Amino acid sequence: MDISHQKIDKNGFTATEQQGRKWSFISPCMIQASLTVNESPNNTQGKLPQKPPRKGLFIFFCIPVSPGNSRFIGVSPRNFSLWIDSFVTRWMHHIVQNLVIDSDLYLLRVQEEKLMEAGLSNWQKVCFVPTKADTMVALYRRWLNKYAGGQVNWRTTINGSLPPIPPKEQLLDRYRSHVVNCSSCIGAYKGLNALQISLEVFSITSVAIMAATKHGMISTVARNTLAAVAILCFLGSKWLSHFIYKNFHFHDYNHAFK
């Protein structure tokens, strides 16, 4: 991977990959990436109107809130395959995106602690960035050291020391960090919880009906069908409960602790 970059100044910097992807850091806390997915062929005969290239953008804001805490805001618009959004809702996208964001959260928090211990000017001793793919990391560190003194200026309102690393259940608490702040995810969370409770209630009610019904009042086929449905609803309720907890509350990432 070949990455070249332009001159770094107080407004940020830009890096371009050989494949045409362009990454820009716009100070103080915005990253923008543009990607051309597939260039349309040239209409040499002029019979059909030329289609615009298929492009996507990735725009991220990572806003420092306090030492050890940041607010992440991201958006990824595109001009192709828009029909997918009619079937894949925002909360489904967020579940996939959170797998990426959360998976490195603990690792970054530990790395932040090690950076403070080594000294911000000695970040190369803590971070091993030998490849071209690490160019953006190295560029950002150069920019931060040159124009921001190597760290966020909290002025006198906040003590710049890092708080202790919280337990992973608290650090990776997706419900408080994202779900309650996202209208799509909180709506899905409430709807799935209601469905889970409904399945559980139906399962228990079905068992109660079978127990209270005298033998011969309903056919054997109907009784067996009701029993099978009750079992399926019970299993579905348990699976849905696990799905809700893992995707809306807490998802452990063991690889981040190795």
At 34-52, the pLDDT tens digits run: 877 655 555 445 555 667 7
Q: Report which of residues 85 and 239 the model is more confident about.
A: 239
Per-residue pLDDT at 235 exceeds 60: yes
**pLDDT > 90: what percent of the chain?**
17
| Sign of the CA dihedral running 235, 237, 242, 246 | positive
**Is the distance from CB of 12 to CB of 27 less than 8 angstroms?**
yes
For residues 132 and 3, the answer to whether their CB atoms sit within 8 Å is yes
Helix or strand run (H / E) with residue 47: none
The least confident of 1-5, 10-14, 65-69, 188-192 is: 1-5
Confidence of residue 74 (pLDDT cuts 50, 70, 90): confident
Residue whose tokens read 């618009």: 77
Greatest mean pLDDT among 89-93, 134-138, 211-215: 89-93
Q: With a threshold of 0.85, does the pTM exceed it?
A: no
Contact status, residue 72 vs residue 60, Cβ threshold 8 Å? yes
The sheet with strand 30-38 has its strands ordered as: 3-5, 12-17, 22-26, 30-38, 54-66, 69-75
